[in-house]
Chains A and B, each alone.
Chain A
Amino acid sequence: MNNIILKLQFYMDYPFVRYALIVGTLIALCSSLLGVTLVLKRFSFIGDGLSHVAFGAMAVATIFKLANDTIFVMPVTIATAVLLLRTGQNTKIKGDAAIAMLSVGSLAIGYLIMNLFSTSANISGDVCSTLFGSTSILTLTKGEVWICVIMSILVVALFCFFYNKIFTVTFDEGFAKATGTNADGYNLLIAVVTAVIIVLAMNLVGSLLISALVIFPALSAMRIIQNFKGVVICSAVISVGCAAVGMLISILFSTPVGSTIVAADIVVFFGSCAIGKIVRR
């Protein structure tokens, strides 16, 4: 035990480890807040779809050798999110099919483009780190950390400020619209914020595993808690806890960051399933 604490202290002296921990927990917090709404609105897969779109956009950005690919990836992802969430109900291709199509399509095109135009010698290494986020979390600069901190504060503030409206729109969009709430506006807000979080979270867990950050904490919380506010708070706590524990484990035992966090989320999910069953009996 002493050994582990010493090892942790040793790693904590490195700024990049501290940055990774800060950014990781913040992203986990934001994604879990939105996750509750997305899961309840039956949009669990939007995280997956958007992250693959972001992957495709990133591949395109590398062709043009953009210095900072976020300028390109962010707008593309936001636009896709708006398209998916806004037209989810009345399009010719239904919500889930549209997401599946975009997700697989951009994954394929992204990989194709990376292969054809890549400038780096290690293509599969590049692809693997974008998909599973293996190293980028440990190479964050101070500026990127600040951007992430500001974005997270903004997301949490927006969520608190519009909490009641988001609840009403999530529970019953028809009623909300009928009583004069601008439901489309709030859907748009949710879409934009989702896209922003996903682009940020790609650094942490990579584009394949983002869905896990969005859905697992929300689903775990829904097993044990019976009211909306409780679910939101509980899911935030679970998500931050799992992210922190996952990152510490990955530092100590040098496992991949993203998959370790997701593994922690899965363990908590089954734990809360069990608790939920016992409590309800």
Chain B
Amino acid sequence: MAYIACENLTLGYNGNVIAKHIQFEVNKGNYLCIVGENGAGKSTLIKTLLHLMEPLGGKITIGDGLKPYEIGYLPQQTVVQKDFPASVWEIVLSGTLPKCGVRPFFGKAQKQLAEEHMKSMAVWELRKQCYRNLSGGQQQRVLLARALCATTKVLLLDEPVTGLDPKMAAEFYRIIQQLNADGIAVIMISHDIQAAVRYASHILHVEREASFYGSKEKYLRSSEWKGFQYAGGEVERKELSTIDSTSAKADRGDKNE
């Protein structure tokens, strides 16, 4: 059974439909990239997956031992956070809050968990520093450590490389790839289509009427991908051929109707 399975999902606000017929699933070890144009409903889809809003139609099933609020979320930076006086330690520790239950304070187990994930994200040395003084890449690693404190099953990343320079972005993708290799399922919203097709195992291309869901290999032969290429230009077409030849995984999923 899949961690998350969405059947015939209809998304929207206040009764206005943004996208419909969305169908996909996330299994253990998957790396799903959600792409699509601005306003296609990517953010709405995220909010729906996180139970921040209700779908207008369709069904989301959660299984394989995943509990409803066990998705590690890496949100986009808000204005509030840019000037927030909090130490790295405080922020990462706040990720363990769901594990505290009704207890008001953090226990030893939570502190250990936070320490462990801070070390694995290489932010342990920064723990006393103020979040607002860190570089963009360091901030993302802090938030990643916090998300890992909340779960070690599914990570949901909302345009994580926005505002990072190319070197930092590459470093960030490498970390995510490593986490994915360790068995964590990754769902990533991305504008960076090149990175999406390079790292992902599956692609969900959200569109108003008929979204595409399938393995990366299948996506590279789809009309949605070609549609993106027209906007992209020469360089990307070259990339496409290299990716196409290196990938030889089994096809899963199908184009939705």
Contacts and interface: CB of A to CB of B under 8 A. Distances in A.
A41 B80 CA distance: 7
A180 B81 contact: no
B98 A227 contact: no
Interface in A157-179: 160-165, 167-168, 170-172, 174-179
A178 B104 contact: no
A181 interface: yes
Contacts of A179: 69-73, 95, 97-98, 150-151
A164 B52 contact: no
A42 interface: yes
The contact size tier of chain A is 20 to 34
A226 B88 CA distance: 10
Contacts of B79: 42
Interface string B78-91: 11110011110111
B58 interface: no
Contacts of B97: 164-165, 168, 176, 179, 181
B129 interface: yes
B253 interface: no
B90 A227 contact: yes
B68 interface: yes
Contacts of A227: 85-87, 89-90, 128, 130
B130 A226 contact: yes
A180 B98 contact: yes
Contact of A180 (B68, B89, B146, B147): B68
A162 B98 contact: no
A181 B98 CA distance: 7
Interface centre among A160, A163, A178, A180 (most CB of B within 10 A): A178
Interface residues of B, number: 38
Interface string B132-161: 010000000000001100110000100000
B85 A222 contact: yes
B92 to A, nearest CB: 11
Contact of A174 (B52, B90, B106, B150): B52
Given A167-B94, A171-B91, A231 B50 contact: no
A7 interface: no
B75 A172 contact: yes
Given A41-B80, A164-B100, A228 B73 contact: no
Interface string A146-166: 000000000000001111110
A225 interface: yes
A226 B128 CA distance: 9
B119 interface: no
A243 B157 CA distance: 46
Interface of B: 50-52, 68-73, 75, 78-81, 84-87, 89-91, 94-95, 97-98, 100, 104-106, 128-130, 133, 146-147, 150-151, 156
Given A171-B81, A177-B52, A227-B85, 8 more contacts: A165-B97, A167-B94, A168-B97, A174-B73, A175-B150, A178-B69, A180-B69, A226-B130
